[in-house]
Amino acid sequence: MGQVLFLLFAGAAASLPPFPVTPVGVVRPLPLAGFGGEYVFQTLGDSYLTAAILAASSRATRFPGGTPADYFNFSVGWLNTPTGSGCGGCDALPPRPAPPAALAAHLAATHEAPVLVLNTLHASLDAELSGLAALSDAGVPIDHLELSNEMYDASRADVVRRFPDGSSYGQTAANWTAALRASYPGARVSWVATSGTWDTRTASWNAQVFDPALQPRPDAASLHLYPGLPTLNLSAPDNFPKLLANLFSHLKDFRSYTESTLPPALPFWVTEWGTWGCSSVEGTWLQGLWHAAFTLLLPTALPRVEVVLPYCSVCGDPVMPSFTTAQWGPVVPPNATTAPGSWLRTPSGQALALVFFAWASAAAGGGEAPSLVAVDFGASNPKLDPAVPSSVALVGTLAMGAPGRPSALIAANLGAEVAPLDVRDLPSFGCAPAGVLCAVSYSAPAGDVARQGLLVEDLLRTAAPVGAGSAQLPPFSLGVMYCSPSPGCFGYP
């Protein structure tokens, strides 16, 4: 696979002054995070894909995924066919059954916690309880239950027939929640919410679904965040900051909408997110950096977020896949792969893996309350785009294995200059050379930031010693700083 290069960025010429790293804001619990699953597009028996997911430190997944979940039968582990037009071509998929025993074995191998998506659209409550019992008997944890996928979608006729409005879905959700808690008292149940308004149905959805008169109440609201990217000419480097600045606008809008339309203090599960628009960004390091920065900032931008699952680990959609075959692209094999190393990380997969690895190291640190807090890089932090006042070149969070015990500093440099980080004011981060900064960036020339079709082996992965409280973060890079003992950098490949 790609060779990891060991470079000392301290010797590189930096054109920016040192940036002091300071924790800011509220300390919040570490979210449960991982690669979202779309299990109709992958084979649970594929040991190479299982190994790739495990090495990327995914701690959670979503089963069986998005829209196909609304046509799925847990007991047999496959779609009830025919599904009709609502599933968007599901009937043409080659069968890849994921029965309870196979799912249990897959989760045990990947060490992922499942968010199970129930079928309120076409299945009865009794049928879903029977399916959950089969999963539980096989050893699948019944801890996180999501009541269907995007039931606000007015483009699906079967959805509108079943749930004419948010009130009808909310009443069903309340009834199912009562029964689910009776069978699985420790399980948490999430109801479908919207993250914005785009038609008359979504305009009233959150108010109707989360009506205080409905009892019992949900444990969380499920959100799908799909920021639209501006259409820009990415052959012009001047457009890179404009594209990256776009993520700050979306985070602000998502927070404003959810805070104003959902009950106070209700936790959020982001069970899908991905970008759309600007197809020229697909398969580039710029896309990976956008996705990583969004994931990095999401738990502190929306402090109620408890679950972070980007869409999707393997799928036919080029806007988000984290793993692909040796030929870049949304390649979905009809059956298990046959050659070792067939699954490689895309730029987005590599960037997300770096974040997940840092978060997992904090969760595994032995503390009782792993957490995150945002960090500030000082008043001289460069602006990305004057049109987006909140957009800055340096963003990051501090992962803590226990209160007051930093585990990893995760930082993204969205700018075109080397950024020197001064971490002397962070407890335990006045590292001697035993510390390490693990960074992923583009390879030369600079145009590679926007070159499509990259794989992990095309990216520059560097491990640089941390000096006496300082380190250099390369341009357009994502880095994780650990102090000794370091858990390592990148895993496989």
> Are both 235 and 199 inside the same structural domain?
yes
pLDDT value of position 380: 94
Comparing 43 with 349, the larger pLDDT belongs to 349
Average pLDDT (44-54) is 86
- Positive or negative, the Cα torsion across 50, 33, 401, 296? positive
> Are both 110 and 45 inside the same structural domain?
yes
Largest interatomic CA distance in the chain:
66
10 and 467 Cβ atoms separated by less than 8 Å = yes
- Among residues 328, 344, 363, the one where a domain terminates is 363
179 and 125 Cβ atoms separated by less than 8 Å = yes
Nearest by Cα to 275 from 313, 222, 225, 346: 225
> Are both 420 and 453 inside the same structural domain?
yes
Tokens matching residue 229: 């990217």
Q: What is the CATH number of the domain that holds 208?
A: 3.20.20.80
Q: Is the pLDDT of residue 154 over 70?
A: yes
Residue 2 lies in a domain: no
If one counts the domains in the chain, the total is: 2
pTM of the model: 0.93
The whole-angstrom separation of Cα 426 and Cα 258 is: 32
Q: What are the CA-CA distances from residue 337 to residues 42, 44, 56, 110, 350 (Å)?
A: 10, 11, 19, 17, 20
465 and 354 Cβ atoms separated by less than 8 Å = no
> Are both 202 and 306 inside the same structural domain?
yes
Residue 488 lies in a domain: no
Tokens matching residue 394: 């340096």
If pLDDT is split at 50, 70 and 90, which confidence band does 11 have?
A: very low
- For β-strands 32-33 and 305-308, DSSP reports them as parallel
Peptide bond into 445 cis (omega under 30): yes
> Are both 310 and 448 inside the same structural domain?
no
> Are both 336 and 422 inside the same structural domain?
no
The whole-angstrom separation of Cα 457 and Cα 92 is: 33
Q: What is the CATH number of the domain that holds 403?
A: 2.60.40
pLDDT value of position 321: 81
Average pLDDT (23-33) is 93
The whole-angstrom separation of Cα 261 and Cα 267 is: 13
Q: Which of 331-340, 462-471, 480-489 has the highest mean pLDDT?
A: 462-471
Cα dihedral 226, 232, 235, 236 in deg (nearest 10): -120
> Are both 164 and 293 inside the same structural domain?
yes
> Are both 317 and 303 inside the same structural domain?
yes
Residue 487 lies in a domain: no
Residue 154 lies in a domain: yes
SS3 9: helix
Q: Is the pLDDT of residue 3 over 50?
A: no
> Are both 287 and 153 inside the same structural domain?
yes
> Are both 382 and 320 inside the same structural domain?
no
Residue 333 lies in a domain: yes
- DSSP state at residue 357: H
**For 417-453, what is each residue's pLDDT tens digit?**
999 999 888 877 766 667 888 999 998 766 689 998 8
Q: Is the pLDDT of residue 53 over 80?
A: yes
> Are both 224 and 326 inside the same structural domain?
yes
pLDDT value of position 336: 44
Q: Is the pLDDT of residue 94 over 70?
A: yes
- Among residues 331, 363, 395, the one where a domain terminates is 363
If pLDDT is split at 50, 70 and 90, which confidence band does 12 have?
A: very low
Comparing 249 with 493, the larger pLDDT belongs to 249
Q: Is the pLDDT of residue 357 over 70?
A: yes
Average pLDDT (382-391) is 94
Q: Is the pLDDT of residue 13 over 70?
A: no
Residue 350 lies in a domain: yes
**For 264-313, what is each residue's pLDDT tens digit?**
999 999 999 988 999 999 889 999 999 999 999 999 999 999 999 998 88
Q: Is the pLDDT of residue 338 over 70?
A: no
Residue 252 lies in a domain: yes
Burial class (CB in 10 A: 0-12, 13-18, 19+), 402: middle
User: What's the distance, Cα to Cα, between the start and end of the chain in Å?
Assistant: 6
User: Average pLDDT, whole number, for the chain?
Assistant: 88
Residue 1 lies in a domain: no
- Identify the weakest region by mean pLDDT among 208-222, 240-254, 332-346: 332-346
> Are both 442 and 382 inside the same structural domain?
yes
Peptide bond into 216 cis (omega under 30): yes
- Identify the weakest region by mean pLDDT among 17-26, 69-78, 84-93, 319-328: 319-328
SS3 1: coil
pLDDT value of position 326: 60
Tokens matching residue 129: 């309880």
Structural domain of 410: 9-25+367-482
Tokens matching residue 179: 């029964």
User: Rounded to the nearest 5 degrees, what angle is found at the Cα of 59, between the Cα atoms of 226 and 270?
Assistant: 25
If pLDDT is split at 50, 70 and 90, which confidence band does 227 have?
A: very high
H and E: helices and strands count for the chain: 9, 22
- The dihedrals phi and psi of 366, each to the nearest 5 degrees, come to 90, -5
48 and 74 Cβ atoms separated by less than 8 Å = no
- Among residues 363, 385, 401, the one where a domain terminates is 363
Comparing 324 with 257, the larger pLDDT belongs to 257
